Amino acid sequence: LSRVKSLLDFLGAFIFILGNYFLFTSVSCEMTSPSLFGMSLVMVVLGYFLVAIPVLLCGAAVFCLPCALVVTDLAEFRLADPEEAMCTICLDEYSDGELIRRLHCKHHFHQQCLDEWLLINRYCPLCKANACPTAGVRDGEC
């Protein structure tokens, strides 16, 4: 049964390629039989769509996966302990709607507070880990 399926797949691909060749090299088919030519053209274009759609979907999945992982990581940020809901730079508690920035070391601060801190110092205020672990970064740049 699998040999028959393989044979039919091969014949389908062969007929598709042969149909492309005949359709696009023909000079008089469009004038002598326009309805047959139009139907053949529709079948060839449909064949291209059936091949192109899975390729495009796989490409979209590969290129969109990193973005989706970042978005899901951002959605999971929750403070486990209510006492931790405080910016240690300004010593003010977080309120709803405020932008919070989290460093690679998992420490979190108000976005504005951390941005001002990083203009002066590129290390985490709590653990002194490098807040800009990118290789080749000069002092004062993140």
All domains in the chain, ordered by first residue: 2-75 (no CATH), 78-142 (3.30.40.10)
Of 7-11, 66-70, 71-75, 136-140, the least confident:
136-140
CB 133 within 8 A of CB 104: yes
**Residue 128 confidence (pLDDT) above 80:** yes
Residue with tokens 């088919």: 29
pLDDT for res 135: 47
pLDDT tens digits for 54-96? 999 998 888 887 776 666 655 555 666 666 778 889 988 888 7
pTM over 0.85: no
DSSP 56-119: HHHHHHHHHHHHHHHHHHHHT---SSGGG-B-TTT--B--TT--EEE-TTS-EEEHHHHHHHHH
Residue 60's pLDDT is 85
